[in-house]
Amino acid sequence: MLSGHHSGGGPRRPGILILFAALVGATTLAYVTLPRKNAEMPVQQTATDLPPLRQSLFPAPPVAKQVPVEHVRHGETWVDPYDWLRDKDYPKVDDAEVLDYLKAENAYTDTVLGKEEDGLRASLFAELKGRVKEDDTGVPYPRGAYIYQSRFAAGQDHPTFVRRAKGEAEGSEKTILDVNELAKGKDFYDVEALEPSPDGRYLAYSFDDNGSENFTIVVKDLTSGEFVGEPIPGTSGSVVWAADNKTLFYVLKDESQRPKQVMRTVLGAKADAGTLVYEEQDPSWWVGIGESQSGRFIEIGSGTLVSSETLLIPSDNPTAKPKPVIPRRENHLYSVADQGDSLWILSNDKHLNFRLLKTPINDWSEKAWTEVMAGSDRQYLTGLLALKDWLVVFGRQDGTQQVWVLDNKGGSHTIAFPDAAFAVSGMNNEEYETGTLRVRYHSLVTPPTVFDYDLAARTLTTRKVQEIPSGYDPSLYTSERLMAPARDGTPIPVSIVYRKDVKKDGKAPMHLYGYGSYSIAMEPGFSTNRIGLLDRGFVYAIAHIRGGEEMGRPWHDAGRLTNKPNTFNDFLDVAQFLVSQGYTSPGQISIEGGSAGGTLMGAVLNMASDGMFAGAVAHVPFVDVLNTLFDDTLPLTTGDYPEWGNPNIKEIYDVMKTYSPYDNVTKRPYPPILITAGLNDYRVTYWEPAKWAAKLRVYKTDDNVLMLKTEMSAGHGGSTGRFDKLKEVALSQAFILRAHGMSK
């Protein structure tokens, strides 16, 4: 896959969560050599006397009408005054009253923070853009008979993909897809998958032009430049070729946006001529497709957060019936990788943190399994990459990422990386017969670096380091890994970064980020977008709270279902710990989270002591928890039950009603709040943040500003263009600075 995007499938809330971690994750696609210049001071704005974020200092905000609707649940009556904000024709949203309200909220946000082309937002955008190399290129990588590469040109929002035949000189590349041309005239355009056929003649790709994550698949003949067959709409975005260069597999979604049916078609066929290969009958399970590293198998994966099943189809026999490796059973997760005459299996059957098994390729039965790496409390195995002579295992050791390498003679070693805490992942490993592993590596102070690792020589070769044109000197910054005691005594990891000249006297402003759901870890990675905050004296912290996977699979279980309140308590306890250690003070902490991290924001704002937080940013927040999870007609609701629980069960309901952010808004002070939403978002529907904002505005007893910004042509991940994304970051950072009393 050329794009590096996630493929369709998976639970509702995480979606494209890294896009909401606007200040956590890096946004540049390609990497170049890093100059070691001194960090420059940020761009200064012209206006310096901006008013504090007090509602009374601005024109009156919009006030949504109230139309009470009653819901009776487990004998209790709940009144929802803002149910009308859900357009009755959803997913079409054309109710004039609803749209007028959202537009009024957007206008109010512009009134308070200024328009994106003016003042602080404009100067922040210029500052952020100055850290992006505009004419950038990715590291070339082989696939089949060609060398592929991604490129950005100056001023362009989207990448161009090029290739040259192996053996041809650099500079002879030809464009195979220019996303900028495809995106012309569109407010939103996202390319999900780019898959060349095995012989390289055809390119199948999928696109979404409205943010709904309903992808259309098209096939282009790279010889003639013509499109082949009809576009296939309504897919999850994934596409896989069989070995014959003419058969394709894809996944169709159902009416609830759940990836449900694996289909097979042939080149030139009509869009509705696909053959059903597999259909997932369980409404709580999702289905996805892939290709094994060797190219021998089409993989069908189906599952939930806690159970999974993998079925294989020989790529050279695409009409064969899919065969399950291990038939599904409750609370069993596994993944597979084929290698020669063996099949590798990661399974959590004996230990939640998984063990590594090996079995003959022609006998997958449990009696044939051999354990190679046992399950361990300290060791968490998360992924496999099977090359011809090497097996690469990704995971964590004592909470820190680790990469193990196993050779075909029974030997093993771990890859040594420069930093003590870091983020690492495989990238563009498209070949099977290779002795080189490519990884993307970064830390809180180390910019993203592309390494090629020689598996035999055990050496890392730097291919590219992300360049920061405006300058960056890593020696000016320091990072730490702390353990904050939770109220139940559990140590909670905290990653923290700041400039070395910041004093621990409690006076520094702090920005604290959290997520804590869906077994997803917030890695201690680098962000160019974060530099401006650090250079303004901020301490930046990531709370690795329960509900993620930072400390292994049990870490997730300790923050889901009836344990979900641990997630919110952990975040508050981390904030209090950082105050006690002198990093900051109450009232000096701004907080941020997106999607399920928005649930976190809503819950802790209802729980926190008055004056604890300076401000909060909640991106596409899942806050209407009870209403959404009681409504199984909504997209993906049943698939969320393994994470949050089914509120039709009284025990789950009793816990859920204690933290559901929308339902727990009360008459009390709240800090300044910025809420974002996407009109076409099906993961967290637009009315959730809209209802929450409307209710908060009525109930809060303070004079602090509350803003709702809805992207009217985007979905869960916001904008797709690299500079449009920076405008969204500039909006958030303008709010953060203003919340801390800074005007520049």
Catalytically annotated residues: 595, 681, 716
Helices 722-739 + 119-129 axis angle, to 10: 130
Instruction: Please enumerate in sequence order all residues whose Cβ is within 8 A of that of 161, keeping only pairs 6 or more positions apart, or say none.
Output: 2, 148, 149, 150, 151, 175, 176, 177, 178, 179, 194
The residue type of 737 is: L
Beta carbons of 607 and 583 less than 8 angstroms apart: no
User: Rounded to the nearest 10 degrees, how much is the dihedral formed by the CA atoms of 296, 298, 303, 305?
Assistant: 60
Question: 718: which 2 tokens?
Answer: 């916001």
Which element (helix H / strand E) includes 693? Answer: helix 687-699
Which residues make beta-bridge pairs with 454?
436, 459
Taking alpha carbons only, the member of 439, 335, 330 closest to residue 383 is 335
Written as one string, the DSSP assignment of 526-548 is --GGGHHHHHTT-EEEEE--BTB
Q: How far apart are CA 646 and CA 74, in angstroms?
A: 13
Q: How far apart are CA 273 and CA 180, in angstroms?
A: 31
Q: How far apart are CA 493 and CA 546, in angstroms?
A: 10
Beta carbons of 706 and 61 less than 8 angstroms apart: yes
**Sign of the C-alpha dihedral computed for residues 651, 654, 659 and 663 taken in this order:** positive
Beta carbons of 543 and 570 less than 8 angstroms apart: yes
Beta carbons of 685 and 634 less than 8 angstroms apart: yes
If DSSP codes are grouped into helix, strand and coil, which group holds residue 313?
strand
Alpha-helical regions (H) of 36-118? 96-113
Query: What's the alpha-carbon Rg for the chain, to the nearest Å?
Result: 25
How do strand 539-543 and strand 510-514 relate by DSSP bridges? parallel
**Sign of the C-alpha dihedral computed for residues 146, 148, 154 and 158 taken in this order:** positive
Q: How far apart are CA 245 and CA 295, in angstroms?
A: 12
Q: How far apart are CA 709 and CA 673, in angstroms?
A: 11
Strands in 400-407's sheet, in edge-to-edge order, are 379-386, 390-397, 400-407, 412-414
